[in-house]
Amino acid sequence: EKGLERSLRDTEQQYHMQLQNLEAEIECLEKELLEVRRGIEKQLQEHEILLNTRMKLEEEIATYRSLLEQEENRKNTSRSCVLTLLFCTPSISAFSFTDGVKKHETEKVELMTKQAILDGNIMKESAEAHGTVQTEKVDEVIKEWEGSFFKDNPRLRKKSVSLRFDLHLAATDEGCLHTKKKTLPDIEVRLVMRRSCSIPSIKP
């Protein structure tokens, strides 16, 4: 009987130790599970913050894109108006020429040429026509100005030559008075021709 009692006590002690070990393992696993849950919650919060930031950035990009499209449409509309003015059928009016400056006979108009010369070669050249013109004569004057740019330099008409014409229009102060009288006002016109050094030099 004593042997059985001793064996029973030993068995009880073993089970008790095993139970303590299991309880310790369970407690450790519960702590790990709690840490995992906290990590998941933190990741969810960070993901939500990133998602909100992305949505705000997409909204700002869409706003900027809309503004850029509006600005581009405005420029295209303005450019189409200028091209319509340039390609109207003109009736040529006369010019009187002086040294270095060309003046229109009936309007206050000047045409001036500038050159940048390096080692005897023309690196850059620009010609600018500026003056006050009656509205109904704008097409005539612009065509005459363009023709005068090519008159002394026929090589500019070659396809290998790249030129750029910039046209600027503005109403004069006197034009406001004409508007009140229901007549077409005078406008200030400036036409600029530019040639880069990549094309052959123009003889002065």
The answer to whether residue 202 is domain-embedded is no
Give the number of other CB atoms < 10 A from CB of residue 163. Answer: 16
- Please, what is the average pLDDT of the chain? 67
Looking at the structure of the chain, the number of domains it has is 2
The answer to whether residue 201 is domain-embedded is no
Last residue of a domain, one of 22, 55, 87: 87
Q: In this structure, are 54 and 101 located in the same domain?
A: no
Q: In this structure, are 65 and 130 located in the same domain?
A: no
Q: In this structure, are 102 and 70 located in the same domain?
A: no
Question: What 3-state DSSP class applies to 92?
Answer: coil
Q: In this structure, are 110 and 148 located in the same domain?
A: yes
d(CA 144, CA 155): 18
Counts of helices then strands in the chain (DSSP H, E)? 3, 6
The answer to whether residue 121 is domain-embedded is yes
Residue 167 token pair: 């046209």
Find the helix or strand (DSSP H, E) in which 69 lies: helix 2-86
Domain that holds residue 59: 1-87
Q: In this structure, are 144 and 171 located in the same domain?
A: yes
Indicate the pTM of the whole model.
Answer: 0.30
Q: In this structure, are 19 and 66 located in the same domain?
A: yes
Which pairs count as long-range contacts for 148-151, CB under 8 Å and 24+ apart, including other chains? 148/95, 148/102, 148/111, 149/193
- pLDDT tens track for 105-153: 334 445 555 555 555 555 556 666 666 766 677 777 777 767 776 666 6
What's the pLDDT at 161? 47
Give the number of other CB atoms < 10 A from CB of residue 18. Answer: 10
Last residue of a domain, one of 40, 62, 87: 87
More confident residue, 119 or 175: 119
